[in-house]
Structure 1
Amino acid sequence: MAGGVLVHEWLARTGGSENVFDAMVEAFPSADLLCLWSDVPDRYQGRPLRETSIGRSVLRGRKAAMLPVLPISWRRQVGSYDWALVSSHLFAHHVSFRGSSPAFQKYVYVHSPARYLWEPTMDTRGSSVLARGAALPLRKVDRLRAREITRAASNSSFVRDRVRRAWDIDSQVIYPPVDVKRIAAVERWSDRVGPDEHAILDALPSEFVLGASRFVPYKALEFVIRAGEVSGLPVVLAGEGPDEPRLRAIAQTARVPVHFVGRVSDEMLFALYQRTTVYVFPAVEDFGIMPVEAMAAGAPVVCGRVGGVTESVIDGVTGSHVDFQDGQSVRAGMHAAEAMRGEATVLRAALFDRTEFLRRIRDFVDLAEVPLP
């Protein structure tokens, strides 16, 4: 009997799109699972996860090298299905299945159309000579495959606008799942951390500005340090990554102390959210899960004026939208945000809880029209 299949690009150990796919797997417990490859064996506790031929080839994990062949490889899948729900940020929405029902329906959750094709300023892969040469034909194919989509959803209005520009189709907004109830349910996350992290937490100043993410250039964590400088507050940076040497060099000349706490557990991160004076999020993201997590813990958020974060953080209520290039704007935003800690941030975050995503993604696939196995 034909049923449904859930499709994803590749599954890293952690990541926002991986969190979305995990929730999809929960929402549709009988659907088959397909991805390019998974970095976590038995990710779904014995539930079969099929990998494509890319995952069994020398191209596995080599994202740049595999790009030219992906549009073709997604067209060579086998399976008899009535429907597919696709989590796409590159070419997964190109997927087709030999042997599927003539009435096959494809539902696509769009994290973003391929940035290196459609927004090359947001993805350095788009600046190479090879990528620029391939962009025009790949855009034509990408837009053609988008015409096969039965229904599309975007992870923010910010991405919805990009989908319109790239594919000339509309989509509904379904915000990604955030573990808001889990975070808000614990009054003192510091009681849940292990002894090593507890010692780190105890050594931090009583007031500080928090930045937390992967240490990569586009996260712009140097602006967290500058926010601390203009507000006169110490800075705590949680995370790791290739940008760490540059950030440490900036920290050495900063006018406030900067504490690097490394990669932290969920419990430690939530404790930092609860302890921080303000969580600062300078990156331009399609949505931005961490600001919602911070609000769930009661922290106000200072963010930029562009990106999906402006849809979750309410300027003047749960945080401040600022121009990070303008010191006066940052100073005013930090000062205003400091007074916003409390119930309003938690209530706002509740709108993005995982349960809301599960409800909306099931409605999106429309069970009345597409019977599940």
Structure 2
Amino acid sequence: MPGVLVHEWIERDGGSEKVLDEFVRCFPDADVLCLWDNAGRYPGRTVVESGLARTPLRRSKALALPAMPFVWRDRPGDYDFALVSSHCFAHHVSFRTPPAEFRKYVYVHTPARYLWTPELDERGTSPAARLASPVLRGIDRRRAREGARFAANSDFVRRRIEKAWDVDARVVFPPVDTRRITAVADWRTELDDDESALVASLPDSFVLGASRFVPYKRLDWVIRAAERAGLPAVIAGSGPEEARLRELAESARVPVRVLRRPSDALLYTLYQRALVYVFPAIEDFGIMPVEARAAGARVIVNSLGGASEWLTEGVDGLCFREDRWEAVADCIPEIDRVPRPSAGSTADLSSERFRAEIVAWVGN
């Protein structure tokens, strides 16, 4: 009997989607089960959506969240195993008639932030969330203790799993496409004419912040830190914070460029051109600093969270120790004591390494 790969919801891009991509490559005969599919990433594969996909709730994750723990239960399907990618409630999944030897493996990006660490997720601060959280935490803990085997994407998340659910997990760092990044020595050669002109217009030295434009990524810290250091900044990405970031850029005392939705080639070029890539978020793991390092950038990351676990201090970059933007600013002048690396990653965080670890964990 085949297995099933379980994921919360499937979007066009995202770190958890990259994990699911590798699951699909590892297990080419497995079905894919999700709440809804907004991307069509897997043509030719059986992708089963939940009942939520046929309702308006698929357009609002926040409104759909209270229903998710119940939608995952007693699913149809006769599978040997389930390999789950979970950052909300996908680990709750169960099947009506599982075989006696059914196994469930859960790769955890994080226990639901809005339940367990609301200080890191604004959804958890609303009155409705605060009211529902005690009940949902109890359900979440019980479901996690039903006998699954767990892997965490960082030691930071492993400790959070232990605290929230009282279960053990191994650590398997997520996949980063480092081989693709390191295959091109100078990513400027991959730019189109408009992108080449844009890069040529940038300052010779700048501080780079790149991620989704959402509050917890703290790209405003990058602008403030660059301003204090007296250096231009480039902010790249997209998201609901774009208007606010543009306002900050316009009022800054140093030049700040905001670039919307850069292509991969442009992003990797920015990594290579930047004085330093700054990643101030308290992140579960943080794929983008690894990408930046693979491209040859020096990085500054938060010592809190998973982003510092792979980094060798003084070799790959620096960690700021106090969780405030001024500490980021203090690090920027120190980056020159970190040698600018040749393109490549000091740690094996490749997609190939990830697939090998997952197959060994689940069993081929």
Give the TM-score band, short-chain normalised: over 0.9
Q: Does residue 12 of structure 2 align to residue 13 of structure 1?
A: yes
Deviation at 1:62, TM superposition (A): 2.0
- Which of the residues 123, 126, 140 maps onto 2:124? 126
SS at match of 1:75: coil
Deviation at 1:324, TM superposition (A): 5.6
Deviation at 1:56, TM superposition (A): 2.1
Residue correspondence of structure 1 range 163-312 to structure 2 within 5 A? 163-312=161-310
Contact between 2:176 and 2:287, CA under 8 Å: does it hold in 1? yes
Identity across the alignment (%) = 52
Corresponding residue for residue 46 of structure 1: 44
State how far apart, in whole Å, the 1-side matches of 2:260 and 2:56 are: 33
Corresponding residue for residue 101 of structure 2: 103
The alpha-carbon distance between structure 1 residues 157 and 80, as it changes in their structure 2 partners (threshold 3 A), is: same
- Which of the residues 343, 350, 353 maps onto 1:353? 350
Q: Deviations over 1:44-63 (max 9, x none)?
A: 13112111111122322321
Contact between 1:154 and 1:160, CA under 8 Å: does it hold in 2? yes
Contact between 2:293 and 2:316, CA under 8 Å: does it hold in 1? yes
State how far apart, in whole Å, the 1-side matches of 2:178 and 2:108 are: 22
Deviation at 1:187, TM superposition (A): 0.7
Corresponding residue for residue 361 of structure 2: 364
Q: Deviations over 1:283-304 (max 9, x none)?
A: 1110000000000011010112
Q: Deviations over 1:171-214 (max 9, x none)?
A: 00111100111101101111101111111111111111111111
State how far apart, in whole Å, the 1-side matches of 2:263 and 2:115 are: 35
Corresponding residue for residue 318 of structure 2: 320
State how far apart, in whole Å, the 2-side matches of 1:72 and 1:324 are: 37
Corresponding residue for residue 333 of structure 2: 335
- Which of the residues 53, 65, 68 maps onto 1:67? 65
Deviation at 1:363, TM superposition (A): 1.2
Contact between 1:318 and 1:344, CA under 8 Å: does it hold in 2? no
Deviation at 1:67, TM superposition (A): 1.7
State how far apart, in whole Å, the 1-side matches of 2:16 and 2:131 are: 28
Q: Does residue 19 of structure 2 align to residue 3 of structure 1?
A: no
The alpha-carbon distance between structure 1 residues 341 and 14, as it changes in their structure 2 partners (threshold 3 A), is: farther
Contact between 1:291 and 1:313, CA under 8 Å: does it hold in 2? no
- State the one-letter code of the partner of 1:172: R
- State the one-letter code of the partner of 1:364: W
- State the one-letter code of the partner of 1:19: K
Deviation at 1:241, TM superposition (A): 2.1
State how far apart, in whole Å, the 1-side matches of 2:141 and 2:344 are: 39
Contact between 1:317 and 1:344, CA under 8 Å: does it hold in 2? no
State how far apart, in whole Å, the 1-side matches of 2:111 and 2:48 are: 24
Contact between 1:106 and 1:150, CA under 8 Å: does it hold in 2? yes
Contact between 1:106 and 1:148, CA under 8 Å: does it hold in 2? no
- Uncovered stretches (5+) of structure 2, i.e. residues with no partner: none
State how far apart, in whole Å, the 1-side matches of 2:170 and 2:249 are: 42
State how far apart, in whole Å, the 2-side matches of 1:74 and 1:138 are: 14
Contact between 1:154 and 1:172, CA under 8 Å: does it hold in 2? yes
Contact between 2:178 and 2:345, CA under 8 Å: does it hold in 1? no
SS at match of 1:321: strand
Q: TM-score, normalised by structure 2?
A: 0.95
Q: Deviations over 1:314-365 (max 9, x none)?
A: 22221111136263x43442223234354477232x4111111111111111
State how far apart, in whole Å, the 1-side matches of 2:230 and 2:257 are: 14
SS at match of 1:153: strand
Deviation at 1:153, TM superposition (A): 0.2
State how far apart, in whole Å, the 1-side matches of 2:99 and 2:348 are: 37
State how far apart, in whole Å, the 1-side matches of 2:29 and 2:337 are: 47
- State the one-letter code of the partner of 2:349: F
Corresponding residue for residue 150 of structure 1: 148
- Uncovered stretches (5+) of structure 1, i.e. residues with no partner: 368-373
Contact between 2:225 and 2:325, CA under 8 Å: does it hold in 1? no
Deviation at 1:83, TM superposition (A): 0.6
SS at match of 1:218: helix
SS at match of 2:57: coil
Q: Does residue 30 of structure 2 align to residue 31 of structure 1?
A: yes
SS at match of 1:364: helix
SS at match of 1:280: strand
State how far apart, in whole Å, the 2-side matches of 1:20 and 1:235 are: 31
Worse-matched range after superposition: 354-363 or 53-62: 53-62
Q: TM-score, normalised by structure 1?
A: 0.93
Contact between 1:36 and 1:51, CA under 8 Å: does it hold in 2? yes
